[in-house]
Structure 1
Amino acid sequence: MTQDPARTLLLIDGSSYLYRAYHAMPDLRAVPGDPASPATGAIRGMINMMQSLRKEVPAAFAACVFDASGPTFRDALYPEYKGHRSPMPDDLRAQIPPIHEVVRLLGFPVLDVPGVEADDVIGTLARAAAEQGLQVVISSGDKDLAQLVNEQIAIIDTMSGKRRDLAGVQAEFGVPAHLMVDYQTLVGDPVDNVPGVEKVGPKTAAKWLNEYGSLDALVARAGEIKGVAGENLRKALDWLPTGRQLVTIKTDCDLNGHVPGLPALDAVKMGEPDNAALKDFYEKYGFKSLAAKAAAGQDAPVAGGSTAVDPGMTQGLFDEPPVVAADRPALRYETLLSWAQLDAWLEKIEAAELVALDTETTSLDEMVAEIVGISFSVTPGEAAYIPLRHAGPDAPEQLPFDEVLARLKPWLENPAKPKLGQHVKYDRHVFANHGIQVRGYAHDTMLQSYVLEVHKPHSLESLAERHTGRKGIGYEDLCGKGAHQIPFAQVDVAKAAEYSCEDSDQTLDVHRVLWPRLQADDKLRFIYELEMQSSEALFRIERNGVLIDAPTLAAQSHELGQRIVALEQEAYAIAGQPFNLGSPKQLGEIFFDKLGLPVIKKTATGARSTDEEVLEKLAEDYPLPAKILEHRSLSKLKGTYTDKLAQMANPRTGRVHTHYAQAVAVTGRLSSNDPNLQNIPIRTAEGRRVREAFVAPAGRVIASADYSQIELRIMAHISEDAALLRAFHEGQDVHRATAAEVFGVELAQVSSEQRRYAKVINFGLIYGMSAFGLAKALGIDNTAAKNYIQRYFERFEGVKRYMDETRQSAKSKGYVETVFGRRLYLPEINSPNGPRRGAAERAAINAPMQGTAADLIKLSMVAVQAAIDAQQRGTKMIMQVHDELVFEVPEAEVDWVRTEVPRLMADVAALKVPLLAEVGVGPNWEKAH
């Protein structure tokens, strides 16, 4: 169907749209975080979908059709019609009037005709428009509308990208569009509670209709249909006429004057967005960036080109902070190519209270990146760029690299000269690569955002657009992408200068918005200062790196390789044939067809699943799945660690330098990558052996300092549970103490099995484990698990009280806090979607403990590094993994580390229970445990 926008009618199934928007979006509020404020999630999702649809389907005519309240002829015909549908949620019902309003303001006519279902309104409009020679596009995911499809009417499902034209209907349902009413009559409509023929599904219905040509012909020859299906068809003969009436979309409705002048389509002419009214609407419902765009006359979609709303992409995108007004001075960016220009700017930065600083480099790997250029900004709209190593064909003569850095070094290394950056740890490394130890970094906009709005993106591009309304030049706009991307050094200097100056200028702009918000909240300011200090300590850890014993890794790889080959042969022997152990298809054939193993679950496409969960379940009773699991585990260990770690060592230092990402985890925990030191699988002997390759050079040893049962101690502090507090103050084994309480026995009588159960319960409840999860973890039935949890809460009333109060507080505020005031936002805590809300409630319980543990290890890291520096120790901090600090220690300082590090770690905070850190020492990381 060729579409001419001037001769196209776009019909939107508004009722379908608003439910999709409601269920896809988080629980947004007009006042973010205030549950008493009006819900706005469905409104925002609807705006996005309508704006995107307007771009995707240009049309001169359009209508967004909603179901009106009240009964229709179908209810009179069949009282059970839609009888099992749940009532509309109250918070969605409250959003319907504003949804109608904003759809109209966006230029779409809105129709809701009393007594007529939306499908029938759509059917009537579609048929009338087609008769006048218009092309009709219906936007809906409702398969019932397929019966309307003809040469001029097509349906698009914006959620799946599916198009139902004549060919599409035939391919999807197996019958032509003109037989869809007959098809739907036979299969029924469970969504609307309309019965079909019992046990007749899509395949049988399509087969009958293709064989007999129509439902009427089938009914006439019902006596010929054999088997149970034939019996059921004959039983349904009296019902089928009623069923057919119920599923048939009416195309001749009296729209009761709601669409006057229908033959001329005047009532469904697409209008222009009313930006002035939209601005007021957006401001009323808290959509600040949309209001700014409407004020500027922009009505483009906020989230790009698809009308589908991806719930995974909504977090942080739709609950917006204020955008700063765009009354900015004219930009004054300067490229420094002479000594006189550089000297003038050196005077500016020497005199400035704060200087935004940015580097342009040769690599994203901070340990090898070299400077190509440097920019500064000291006042809004004013910045300078020093090109140093541009080598393009038109590159101008640039100031000498070494001499410029020599001129800048005194200011860069002066701690009394405050500096600002975006992700300053990276820039520290870059300058260190050139022998400059930058001091005086006072602020980092990435970390400011991380503390204030942890659930949102923290890139400078996002921050600038979100907080200042500025959209800058993208890196790919400058350098291209993929195979055609050029190095920054080859970028035209004028363009590079504009890009880099803009980065420094925007960093200063964003700082001027975020810093006052941090200053206004003492707790958040404390967390921000901790993050800044942690950034410096992490720079030192990354710079130190850890020595890797390559021969040890090579030997482990060889052994793992031999075991992997042996496992393959053992698997072949059990299966009775060779096969690809990594092929789900072949695994399915071997497991279920050849060996007759039970099917545990199926994939979304109906295939028999062989995923990790299925393998673990089958491995309990069958040898082959156990071999497959072991093969996968060892292959991953070999490929990820023993084969690669030595190759990742820096050629200059001979060490592995992991990168710690600070602004990733919402709990405040660090993320380690290249290599990931936090995911080494230490629950297996082979995994633990990998840590043997993390070694110290001659004359030094490895020391590991680890908090003991930190999250349980934090739970005792936060919940103030008397039994937990007593156990920690008396130095009891807390799992044994828990077992004594739960099983009602004396401490001395607790068995090892009871202690194991108690340990699972302790940690399980911290992570919000349900009775089902506990039953699975302990291998017991659900009733027993439920009884254990009930007994636990009876004995540990403070823990139960903490959990109940935390859930309630989280629902009220939209976030929880750590002991030190770090905010952990929970966008889904009031979600209408049960599973999402449940996950948020579990996170509300656990996040304060994980977050507080993250705060404590950062406080320890800062305190220990400060002590090392103050006492000029030779000890180096080389890793931070979960609740553990790892050191490379001169043999002469081992006693100091054993004594002082635990004391420093225990003293970073005064909780209601003592903090305990334990230190182990050995020639390698594994032996230090």
Structure 2
Amino acid sequence: MSDPQTLLLVDGSSYLYRAYHAMPDLRAVPGDPNSPATGAIRGMVNMLNALRLEVPAAYAVCVFDASGPTFRDHLYPDYKAQRAPMPPDLRAQVAPIHEVVRLLGWPLLCVEGVEADDVIGTLARQGAARGLRVIIASGDKDLSQLVNERITVLDTMSGKRRDVAGVTAEFGVPPERMVDFQTLVGDAVDNVPGVPKVGPKTAAKWLAEHGSLDNLIANVHTIKGVAGENLRGALDWLPTGRQLVTIKTDCDLGRELPGFPDALDSIAVGAMDTLALHDFYEKYGFRSLARALQDGGARATADAASLDTSAVASAAQQREVHYETLLTWEQFDTWLARIQAAPLVALDTETTSLDELRARIVGLSFSVEAGSAAYIPLAHDGPDAPEQLPLDEVLARLKPWLEDPAAHKLGQHIKYDRHVLANHGIDVRGYVHDTMLQSYVLEVHKPHGLSSLAERHTGRTGLSYEDLCGKGAKQIPFSQVPVERAAAYSCEDSDQTLDVHGVLWPQLQADDKLRAIYELEIACSETLFRIERNGVLIDAQQLAAQSHDLGRRLMALEQQAYQIAGQPFNLGSPKQLGEIFFDKLGMPVIKKTATGARSTDEEVLEKLAEDYPLPATLLEHRSLAKLKGTYTDKLGQLADPRTGRVHTHYAQAVAVTGRLSSNEPNLQNIPIRTLEGRRIREAFVAPPGRLIGSCDYSQIELRIMAHISGDAALLHAFTAGLDVHRATAAEVFNVPLEQVTSEQRRYAKTINFGLIYGMSSFGLAKSLGISTAAAKNYIDRYFERYPGVRRYMDRTRLEAKERGYVETVFGRRLVLPEINSPNGPRRSAAERAAINAPMQGTAADLVKMAMVAVQDALDRERPDILMVLQVHDELVFELPEAEADWVRTEVPRIMAGVAQLQVPLLAEVGFGANWEEAH
């Protein structure tokens, strides 16, 4: 029943963006990329119907931004200047969204000249003055300034409720001081500058000490240090900043809502227009929603999945759940029998750490059917923790099932759970599905976390880790979470994982190419688990010596910089750099920051370094400082003290091209073009009696370009075994192959790789240090000699614009959200990505195939050889010296044979006592 004392205000503009980014790329005609996009419409319907159930208000308004400028744009022309324009696919869905909002019975409001926030602010204040309880449904933190005893902001996506206490706890200031807080901090999203270098903690501290921004300004002379200088420097700006961040609460709504707030009829929630809704759903391909309307289903519009999986999603939203906490052996034995009999079991671990190699188990949960799950608490040690089953004995009883490859298991980010269980001596087998990887293959440009997946595909929301443990300094370990809360959280995770799998797996089964990519990712996850577990040995003493050398060079460069500048200064201070560069030394100002300050960022330094010695010295200092701080100082500290090995983490579901990401530490970004960078690789060593072996694909992306483009001259160069850069130079410079000079080959190499990445004539000119006209001439001659490459590029741009994505040779989809953007630079960047992504993505596919194939061979024939690193197109091994011949022969053969392209794949191998020698 609707509450006659509640007014619900929906931030429609926020909702439609969330709907767009949360839903898959649905189309009115499924599978037809030329039919209208409908994902945002469908998501909006789901969200509004869920909200109506969650907040049964008698009065409600869904507020959207009107088109055109607002008073803030006139006040500050750069307001929101850096925001990307609305994606064309979303823009096309705005009118249908407005239509369906009205058909669902929601009053809708757009007011010209102000933003949706201002309309919401006005309605909230007037509704509260009328005695109504006001709920604002939005994830926008800016609306926190409206909160009082009668007004609450509810973020339905995260479950966060910002009442007076919630705002104060989150931001450190009460709602009535939020405008002051936002003025000081600024708003990067809306391009509103605050006080430079003043973040939330400083702003909250100042306001706590001085009570208000006005009092702070009155006592500005008492604020010490750089922060005080910055505050004094921003005094002229702060009144404008305050106007920009202040939500209006006095908009004239007379035309839109005559009689409000005294007459509430204009904002009363109406009934759904079922007949018109049915036609609307049919028009946009929402057949399950249309059928449910015909059947009279009261919650018909709450299902949220593709047409093939809507029944699964709808059921997931509406059913009751049955979660059990296992505290006795009788309960355990009952559930062990269930998981042993189940065809597929979702498994989730709760642990002591996010560091997968150090994490220990706190509890385990299982789900074997929709809505049913069990949690086994094993190491909860909070004050009210009940007696639990012994961890070691539980794991011993589970071990046969966990290590049985025929017992099929499902998880979310299974590599993490494999490590956690391996820490307890269990080598899990039988992981056949991973919902994170399913999402990564199907919707690479969307978030792949479980909460996002559950909400996007099943409409379910649930507890978050922060809900249980808190955050920041007050966060408690999971082991201290009350068992009943921990059980609800963990069971929900397993249950939701099973639900999401039920939606995503049928979509993969329906597409042979995507299913093959998914199966490759599952196999790759297993190989990466092995690589991470192996780790690579580090020579900590050598790194310490390198750090010492770098430290001395940094001190020398610092003194050199002082000498050039004619004074000592802080090399990391943009303010001091600006004064020395532009005031003292008279260098030209290249660009300015958002606050109008003269920029001294990396791009500016590189430009100035062409003509001035001081920027060149600073660039060298920054480069060496980064090497020291990131690698030589830290790698030794990150090594396992027991083994001396560093274990990087490979993130599989990050890069849209399919490439892997290495972190903690990042071993893929060690610079190899400098002597100092190569020296770092010397610290990656083999133990006595063993070698480091490195095998990498030769010119892999150029070979893929030859295959994809089918260009006859490029194909000939590779099939004939020619030096492709020399062959390109012969074509571009029109000289015989044997007469190509080293300089001409260098130019040709730059052209070859530059065009793969969509380099313009301007970019090529900059790389080669030649005129733009000369660079354009080289590019034109390249395309004359390699017309197939030009045809490929033209064809790919058109296909990308039509489909919104490109594909690798093996069918991985690489989505390009900006390919039809009205913003020229964004569209051009997407077009360059469209050309490069199939090559980079195909290379990623090939390397993953190679990793899996080589690991299979090692397991069968040479288990004493360890794969210890994967870096771009290179696999690194640690091997007994006696196995060098096998690696030299077999690994390149396996890598070259994982796929048949129109040109031969070539892998080259090297050996040494360390990685640098082997590479």
TM > 0.5 fold call: yes
Counterpart for residue 240 of structure 1: none
Any idea what the Cα deviations from partners look like across 1:415-470, whole Å, max 9, x if unmatched?
Answer: 12111111111111111111111111111111111111111111111112222222
Letter in 2 for 1:324: A
Counterpart for residue 554 of structure 1: 544
Q: How far did residue 654 of structure 1 move?
A: 2.1
- Per the alignment, do residues 712 and 345 of structure 1 end up closer, same or farther by CA in structure 2, a change over 3 Å counting? same
**SS of residue matched to 1:852:** helix
- Per the alignment, do residues 275 and 541 of structure 1 end up closer, same or farther by CA in structure 2, a change over 3 Å counting? farther
Q: How many angstroms apart in 1 are the aligned matches of 2:439 and 2:771?
A: 46
Q: How far did residue 481 of structure 1 move?
A: 1.4
Matched, 1:598 2:588: yes
Counterpart for residue 845 of structure 1: 835
Any idea what the Cα deviations from partners look like across 1:446-504, whole Å, max 9, x if unmatched?
Answer: 11111111111111111122222221221111111111111111111122122212212
- The within-5 A match list for 1:321-400 is 324-326=313-315, 329-400=319-390
Q: How many angstroms apart in 1 are the aligned matches of 2:37 and 2:802?
A: 14
Matched, 1:835 2:825: yes
Q: How many angstroms apart in 2 are the aligned matches of 1:343 and 1:50?
A: 43
**SS of residue matched to 1:912:** coil
- Per the alignment, do residues 685 and 32 of structure 1 end up closer, same or farther by CA in structure 2, a change over 3 Å counting? farther
- The within-5 A match list for 1:107-122 is 107-108=106-107
| Aligned equivalent of 1:422, options 406, 409, 412 | 412
Q: Which moved more, 1:99-108 or 1:906-915?
A: 99-108
- Per the alignment, do residues 629 and 49 of structure 1 end up closer, same or farther by CA in structure 2, a change over 3 Å counting? farther
| Aligned equivalent of 2:701, options 692, 702, 711 | 711
Matched, 1:887 2:877: yes
Any idea what the Cα deviations from partners look like across 1:760-795, whole Å, max 9, x if unmatched?
Answer: 111111111122222222222222222222211111
| Aligned equivalent of 1:408, options 398, 403, 409 | 398
**SS of residue matched to 2:905:** coil
Q: How many angstroms apart in 2 are the aligned matches of 1:577 and 1:63?
A: 58
Letter in 2 for 1:384: A
| Aligned equivalent of 1:623, options 595, 613, 624 | 613
Give the alignment's TM-score, normalised by structure 2: 0.75
Q: How many angstroms apart in 1 are the aligned matches of 2:566 and 2:286?
A: 63
Q: How far did residue 837 of structure 1 move?
A: 2.0
Q: Which moved more, 1:697-706 or 1:463-472?
A: 463-472
Letter in 1 for 2:897: D
Q: How far did residue 831 of structure 1 move?
A: 2.4
Unpaired runs of 5+ residues, structure 1, are 1-5, 69-87, 120-133, 136-153, 164-202, 204-250, 303-315
Counterpart for residue 435 of structure 2: 445
Counterpart for residue 914 of structure 1: 904
| Aligned equivalent of 1:581, options 560, 571, 592 | 571
- The within-5 A match list for 1:206-605 is 269-272=266-269, 285=284, 324-326=313-315, 329-605=319-595
Counterpart for residue 310 of structure 1: none
Q: How far did residue 605 of structure 1 move?
A: 2.4
Q: How many angstroms apart in 2 are the aligned matches of 1:724 and 1:808?
A: 23
Q: How many angstroms apart in 2 are the aligned matches of 1:359 and 1:111?
A: 47
| Aligned equivalent of 1:645, options 635, 638, 643 | 635
Q: Residue 305 of structure 2 contacts residue 503 of structure 2 at CA under 8 Å; is this kept in 1?
A: no
Q: How many angstroms apart in 2 are the aligned matches of 1:418 and 1:61?
A: 49
**SS of residue matched to 2:559:** helix
Letter in 1 for 2:99: E
Matched, 1:659 2:625: no
Q: How far did residue 160 of structure 1 move?
A: 3.8
Counterpart for residue 892 of structure 2: 902
Q: How many angstroms apart in 2 are the aligned matches of 1:160 and 1:442?
A: 44
Q: Which moved more, 1:481-490 or 1:684-693?
A: 481-490
- Per the alignment, do residues 263 and 869 of structure 1 end up closer, same or farther by CA in structure 2, a change over 3 Å counting? closer
- Per the alignment, do residues 27 and 663 of structure 1 end up closer, same or farther by CA in structure 2, a change over 3 Å counting? closer
- Per the alignment, do residues 644 and 346 of structure 1 end up closer, same or farther by CA in structure 2, a change over 3 Å counting? same
Counterpart for residue 226 of structure 1: none
Q: How many angstroms apart in 2 are the aligned matches of 1:712 and 1:882?
A: 15
- Per the alignment, do residues 347 and 39 of structure 1 end up closer, same or farther by CA in structure 2, a change over 3 Å counting? closer
Q: How far did residue 318 of structure 1 move?
A: 13
Q: How many angstroms apart in 2 are the aligned matches of 1:908 and 1:341?
A: 48
Q: How many angstroms apart in 1 are the aligned matches of 2:608 and 2:88?
A: 45
Matched, 1:860 2:850: yes
Any idea what the Cα deviations from partners look like across 1:559-583, whole Å, max 9, x if unmatched?
Answer: 0000000000000000000001111
- Per the alignment, do residues 585 and 865 of structure 1 end up closer, same or farther by CA in structure 2, a change over 3 Å counting? same
**SS of residue matched to 1:913:** coil
Any idea what the Cα deviations from partners look like across 1:60-87, whole Å, max 9, x if unmatched?
Answer: 999989799xxxxxxxxxxxxxxxxxxx
**SS of residue matched to 2:323:** strand
Q: How far did residue 289 of structure 1 move?
A: 13
Q: How far did residue 261 of structure 1 move?
A: 7.7
- The within-5 A match list for 1:667-816 is 667-816=657-806
Q: Percent identity?
A: 73
Q: How far did residue 668 of structure 1 move?
A: 0.8
Any idea what the Cα deviations from partners look like across 1:626-657, whole Å, max 9, x if unmatched?
Answer: 00000000011100000000000112332100
- The within-5 A match list for 1:27-176 is 30=28, 34-38=32-36, 98=96, 101=99, 107-108=106-107, 160=190
Any idea what the Cα deviations from partners look like across 1:297-327, whole Å, max 9, x if unmatched?
Answer: 8999x9xxxxxxxxxxxxx999999581136
Q: How far did residue 44 of structure 1 move?
A: 9.6
Q: Which moved more, 1:913-922 or 1:839-848?
A: 839-848
- Per the alignment, do residues 421 and 59 of structure 1 end up closer, same or farther by CA in structure 2, a change over 3 Å counting? closer
What count of residue pairs does the alignment treat as equivalent? 768
- Per the alignment, do residues 713 and 289 of structure 1 end up closer, same or farther by CA in structure 2, a change over 3 Å counting? farther
Q: How many angstroms apart in 2 are the aligned matches of 1:519 and 1:290?
A: 24
Letter in 1 for 2:858: I
Q: Residue 62 of structure 1 contacts residue 270 of structure 1 at CA under 8 Å; is this kept in 2?
A: no
Q: Residue 681 of structure 2 contacts residue 916 of structure 2 at CA under 8 Å; is this kept in 1?
A: yes
Q: How many angstroms apart in 1 are the aligned matches of 2:660 and 2:737?
A: 37
Q: Residue 27 of structure 1 contacts residue 832 of structure 1 at CA under 8 Å; is this kept in 2?
A: no
Q: How far did residue 93 of structure 1 move?
A: 9.4
Any idea what the Cα deviations from partners look like across 1:643-683, whole Å, max 9, x if unmatched?
Answer: 00000011233210000111111111111001000111111
Q: How far did residue 921 of structure 1 move?
A: 0.4
Q: How many angstroms apart in 2 are the aligned matches of 1:504 and 1:775?
A: 55
- Structure whose CA Rg is larger: 1
Matched, 1:926 2:907: no
- Per the alignment, do residues 729 and 370 of structure 1 end up closer, same or farther by CA in structure 2, a change over 3 Å counting? same
Q: Residue 425 of structure 1 contacts residue 535 of structure 1 at CA under 8 Å; is this kept in 2?
A: yes
- Per the alignment, do residues 457 and 318 of structure 1 end up closer, same or farther by CA in structure 2, a change over 3 Å counting? farther
Q: Which moved more, 1:34-43 or 1:514-523?
A: 34-43
Q: Residue 275 of structure 1 contacts residue 299 of structure 1 at CA under 8 Å; is this kept in 2?
A: no
Q: Residue 59 of structure 2 contacts residue 269 of structure 2 at CA under 8 Å; is this kept in 1?
A: no
Q: How far did residue 927 of structure 1 move?
A: 0.9
